[in-house]
Amino acid sequence: MTPQRLICSSISSVYAKLAVALLLVLPALAAPARMQAQSKLFSVAKDSIPLFNGFSVSFDLIGAAMRVMSDYGEYEGALRLNLHNQYFPVVEVGYGSANHERDEVTGLSYKTQAPYFRLGCDLNLLKNKNTPNRLYGGIRYAFTSYKADIWREDTADPVWGDITSFRMEGESCSQHWMEIVFGLDAKLWGPLHAGWAVRYKRRLTHQDGAAGNVWYVPGYGRSGDTRISANFNVIIDI
């Protein structure tokens, strides 16, 4: 073999060894990058907001104003937890009362007062949940147990002239109902918020005692299968 052929053969052998080494090394170098890309693809971004992000207390002004200006209404407060600024478990407690004298249609008077309770959760509907304002929808389960007094004053029978009266005291009543809530909270200053909430109420079960349909149910409002109401809340974030 000539010196020229020997040199060419040596060079070819070196290139062949380099090619084999590259074929072995490149997949090993590419594997970590491939694994890193896959981990980024399937990883869940960590939420910058903590799971427990405080709580708030609120008070409804509409129910209190109705109780002062009309013959029925409620005093109501709520405690709401803040989870990730996204979910808001809530407990609402109130005290409803009515003193309705001499109904124009039936001539009956009605009186009751009792606490009521609601339990549910709200969901922040805004795309950017980090803003201090909130648009939310939610659901509630509600319950009340109360006693009612129903009576009619002495009335002369228009035909026979006899004096008749009617009185039932301490009739035991109860009601369970569901609510769908849609509301808006806006920040006013510091931890102080204010907001509206609209509620669609659907009666589930009820026990009205011997008197039949009662005139008012604490926390629910005027008696009936469905009802729509509104709240104006003053809210303090803590």
pLDDT digits over 108-159, tens only?
A: 899 999 999 999 999 999 988 888 899 999 999 999 999 999 988 766 656 6
pLDDT of residue 12: 54
Measure the CA angle with vertex 237, ends 234 and 238; round to 5°: 135
Rounded alpha-carbon distances, angstroms, from residue 93 to 57, 61, 113, 152: 11, 14, 14, 32
8 Å CB contact between 204 and 176: yes
Token couple for 233: 């809340």
Q: What is the dihedral of CA 193, 196, 202, 203, to 10 degrees?
A: 60
Q: Could you say which residues of the chain have pLDDT below 70? A: 1-47, 154-164, 211
pLDDT of residue 235: 97
| Residues whose CB is less than 8 angstroms from the CB of residue 108 and which lie 6 or more positions away in sequence, other chains included | 102, 150, 151, 152, 166, 215
pLDDT of residue 6: 44
Q: Which residue carries 């001539």 as its tokens?
A: 107
CA atoms within 13 A on the CB side of 118: 27
3-state secondary structure of 63: helix
pLDDT of residue 44: 46
pLDDT of residue 41: 47
pLDDT of residue 16: 57
Strands 87-100 and 109-124: antiparallel
8 Å CB contact between 143 and 175: yes
